[in-house]
Chain A
């Protein structure tokens, strides 16, 4: 076998057996498996949280059923419960984490619904966001009835304008295809970026070890430097193909 191939396979096999290569490949594969199964993982963790409950004190005595019905269309999983005690009692319950938060419904001067939301921190955006959206709908309904608008008129008013883009070229990509392509470009960009850094670094390290450990002097007296260089580059190239293949196979296996 020519010395070029000896160097190539030596580089390939010795790098393949290093701990760092095995570990990076494994870690990347695990991350890949994680990413492809992201939805499953999120679902798994969400299940354990139980349902979120918000206590509602209805000062008006009539808003609660309407609000509850509207909330179903915004977020089905969020549960609200009418609280009959005083505000202070309700706050205590929130503090003991029996409820996620406390919503106080009321009318303002012009008889439109307003609300105050109290929770342990204001850092949570999901629940207040949903409640706010619901309240917005209820308010619109109230405002409409004050202005004596019918439901139809209200819908007309709030309906978003339809806007559609159509490509005239036959082979033009649809919106969906475009965003898919964009995602793919980002992924490939990252893969290329890391590959260039990692594998080039590997070659450089290999040369540096030979230089610093002075094996170079023996090597150079038996093989020409050009052969050594190309043997190394292609050996690492082969290694990179192996790593990519492993990652692609695991990826495609789990995507299915």
Chain B
């Protein structure tokens, strides 16, 4: 494996995929650095899964190139790649153990090691008793855990997770998130897609928002937020705040049960607002917040719906 200055970078250059007249992915260029977590965001049908399939080599791009560490991805690299497909699926009639051993061996992991890893992961997810159960006997959420283990059991260098947290309860989401972060800390490059903004916000440094196949926002999370400029101002007070909706510099406003939530052009506006209300009465909360990814996403993607 290459180490040091030559980092393993997953690079997509002007990747386009067309299905007939329909362009699923349009001129997508990305560079995903080694040992990073990269988030793919996008509305339903934005082209996330298609992009993943191209990265895996299941689909070939209509134009453009995808390289990992300067090489094409094909079946010779598959032991280094883990994939959690969006359409979950395992052999329904096969016991978890046999299933794992088979799938891991196909990715080049010997049986003994697989069993050791399987023990570790099953006890980590607090389901060690499932090892002898058939997959069809498990609940959907538990099947998903097994599926996740199947994607990571061979210790991949590049892990592709398509909607890893959909259909899980909050406790399991936390468990899975922790597992993903641990994998990242152990040196796995992780690419994952979600339509849950908070997951991406929490976990990814790099992200890309796809809309109708085109990347509309892309880069490091902090930069994206900073360049977005707008901030959220949350005010809770005892008196009426409705008039603030017409304050200059306020772009959007929402009344909440305890007060008001304003979207403002920049930080300066907040000080003007504070000055104007400070004498009016008791203010229990006055917070200037970074915009959430949710706001950015809705503005960027939602705008083109209108």
Contacts and interface: CB of A to CB of B under 8 A. Distances in A.
A6 interface: yes
A217 interface: yes
Contacts of B56: 221
Interface string B96-109: 00100011011100
Interface string A1-13: 1010011001000
A14 B98 contact: yes
Given A7-B106, A221-B83, A214 B75 contact: no
Interface string B54-65: 001110000000
A106 B93 CA distance: 75
Nearest to B103: A218
A216 B58 CA distance: 11
A219 interface: yes
Contacts of B150: 218
Nearest to A217: B85
Given A14-B94, A213-B92, A218-B89, A6 B105 contact: yes
B92 A218 contact: no
A218 B156 CA distance: 14
A46 B103 CA distance: 58
Contacts of A217: 58, 83, 85, 87, 89
Contacts of A3: 106
Nearest to A7: B106
A209 interface: yes
Nearest to B84: A218
Contacts of A213: 89-92
Contacts of A6: 102, 105-106
Contacts of A210: 91
B81 interface: yes
B88 interface: yes
A218 B81 CA distance: 11
A131 B92 CA distance: 66
Residue of B88, B91, B93, B98 with most chain A CB atoms under a 10 A cut-off: B91
Nearest to B55: A221
A173 to B, nearest CB: 50
A185 B23 CA distance: 59
A178 interface: no
A110 interface: no
A219 B106 contact: yes
Most chain B CB within a 10 A radius of its CB, from A213, A220, A221, A222: A221
B90 A215 contact: yes
A249 interface: no
A223 B89 contact: no
Range of interface residues on chain A?
20 to 34
A24 interface: no
Contacts, number: 55
A222 B78 contact: yes
Interface string B34-64: 0000000000000000000000111000000
B75 A224 contact: yes
Interface in A13-58: 14
Contact of A214 (B58, B81, B83, B85): B85
A19 to B, nearest CB: 10
A209 B58 contact: no
B129 to A, nearest CB: 22
A19 B151 CA distance: 29
Contacts of B105: 1, 6
Nearest to A213: B89
B197 to A, nearest CB: 26
Given A221-B56, A224-B75, A214 B106 contact: no
B88 A223 contact: no
Interface string B72-87: 0001001001010101
B166 to A, nearest CB: 15
B34 to A, nearest CB: 21
B240 to A, nearest CB: 56
Question: Of residues B58, B75, B90, which shows the largest number of chain A Cβ atoms within 10 Å of its Cβ?
Answer: B75
Q: Which 6 A-B pairs have the closest CB atoms?
A: A214-B89, A217-B85, A222-B78, A214-B87, A222-B106, A213-B89
24 contacts: A1-B105, A3-B106, A6-B105, A7-B106, A209-B91, A213-B89, A213-B92, A214-B85, A214-B87, A216-B89, A217-B83, A217-B85, A218-B83, A218-B89, A218-B150, A219-B103, A219-B106, A221-B57, A221-B78, A221-B81, A222-B107, A223-B75, A223-B78, A224-B75
Given A217-B83, A221-B81, 13 more contacts: A6-B102, A213-B91, A214-B85, A217-B87, A218-B90, A218-B150, A220-B58, A221-B56, A221-B57, A221-B78, A222-B75, A222-B103, A223-B106
